Structure 1
Amino acid sequence: MKALLSAAALAVCVSACTPALVEKLPYYRLSVVQGIPLDAASVLAVKEGMTRQQVEMEIGAPLLRPSFRADRWDYVYEVSRGGKVKENRTLTIHFGADGTVNRIEGDALDFARQQIQHNQQGNQ
């Protein structure tokens, strides 16, 4: 009987350490946030014709400023947990020869629109 209880206790202890169970523990792997959090209101406030300084005041300094492409700023935001990307947004702002915004693209625009729409529906 004692041997059976010892074997059962050992089986429970060993099975508790399986990777599948450990990954489900919320405190085992912390969220890793990389990049600049892209606030919905700030993203939508950037408009064509704004200067670099205005964009930087609205969103912040870009994560990537390629030296070979001075006409483009890239903002990247990523949240990963347990080595897996859970959230990923990008925003690319293109500047014209006069130094003003002439094009804005990236999935952060769609996300910002959805957030604003969701917030407006929640307030009604």
Structure 2
Amino acid sequence: MPSSLRILAVAGLCALLGACSLFKFPGVHRIEVQQGNIITQEMVDQLKPGMTRRQVRFVLGTPLLEDTFNPNRWDYINRMRNPDGEETQKRFTVYFNGDILIATSGDWQPEGWPR
């Protein structure tokens, strides 16, 4: 077999194997991918105005984003991709005045807080 034909055969085989990722094979298990902070309404309902940063971190965990230009804001972001490839994203932001929690915004709202 000439070397040019052998190279062409190897290149064709590589292209064929690379194209396999385009097809979804039946019965193949796909996992749900979750990134960021896991926040629930129950966690958010534990927040009270006047809590310290340490107390908020205890309830919600470490924020995904702490803005260096705005140290009085913490952002919690949760992104989920289901097995079908659909992505959803939810955000929750807490605002401080110094060390004291003063406000929240995002996809969840603490119960009893003004809207």
Q: Which TM class, normalised by the smaller chain length?
A: 0.5 to 0.7
Q: CA deviation at 1:40?
A: 1.9
* Identity within the alignment, %: 30
- Secondary structure, in 3 states, of the residue corresponding to 1:42? helix
Q: How many residues align?
A: 90
Q: What amino acid does structure 1 have at the position aligned with 2:78?
A: Y
Deviations 1:35-68 (Å, cap 9, x if unpaired)? Answer: 1111221111112111000000111110101111
Q: Does 1:104 align with 2:104?
A: yes
Return the structure number with greater helix share. Answer: 1
Gaps of 5+ in 2: 1-19
TM-score (norm 2): 0.66
Aligned residue for 1:84?
A: 86
Deviations 1:60-115 (Å, cap 9, x if unpaired)? Answer: 11010111110000001111134430x32111000013x10111110133xx87xx
TM-score (norm 1): 0.62
Q: How does 1:1-124 map to 2 (within 5 A)?
A: 22=24, 27=29, 29-81=30-82, 82-85=84-87, 87-97=88-98, 99-109=99-109
RMSD over aligned Cα, in angstroms?
A: 2.5
